[in-house]
Amino acid sequence: MGGDHNALRNVLIIIGVIILGVSAYLLYGALVMVNYMAYYHCMGGMMCGMMMYYPLFLPVALLTVGAVMIILPIILIKPGATQGLSYATEQGDALVSSSMVGGSDDYYGRFLKLLPKAEREVLEYVIKSGGEVFQYQIMKDLGLSKVQAWRIVRRLEEKA
């Protein structure tokens, strides 16, 4: 799952770099055009004032979009980050201990008690199964419908 996030991160950064390159090229052309209009057209009274800067709007907008597409993935998607239900198993064997699943007074047991019953059962099942299970296994072993299992897994992933 972490590989999917890294691939998405890299694709967004590459697209942002391409957009930045296109916007730099367009910005150069727009600056030449603004310079031309300022010199030749303002002499005759045409295209003076704000209208002279209209060619800069698209390159500046693309420059902004490109910068955002580079910066946001770097900030929001950490390389090698693991997300989702498999995250619990990577925290160590302490999570899979019987005291956690049994609901003792440790930190994780108290956390599990805060979840709704269906989500708690699915999370305990995922932890007991080693951290990664297929949806059909959750459906079969816990007696849930396909939609119920999907919704519970989706909510748990959002909370992770």
Other beta carbons within 10 angstroms of residue 23's beta carbon come to: 21
Residue 84: predicted pLDDT: 47
| Residue of 81, 85, 26, 83 whose CA lies nearest to 56 | 26
Give pLDDT tens digits along the chain (160 positions). Answer: 456 778 888 888 999 999 999 999 999 998 888 887 777 766 555 656 667 777 888 899 999 999 999 898 888 877 655 544 444 444 444 444 444 444 444 666 776 777 788 888 888 888 888 878 888 888 888 888 888 888 888 888 877 6
Is 1 in contact with 77 (CB distance < 8 Å)? Answer: no
Lookup: tokens for 71: 């910066």
| Residue of 116, 119, 97 whose CA lies nearest to 108 | 97
- At 67-79, the pLDDT tens digits run 999 898 888 877 6
Residue 138: predicted pLDDT: 86
Residue 120: predicted pLDDT: 84
- At 139-154, the pLDDT tens digits run 888 888 888 888 888 8
Residue 19: predicted pLDDT: 92
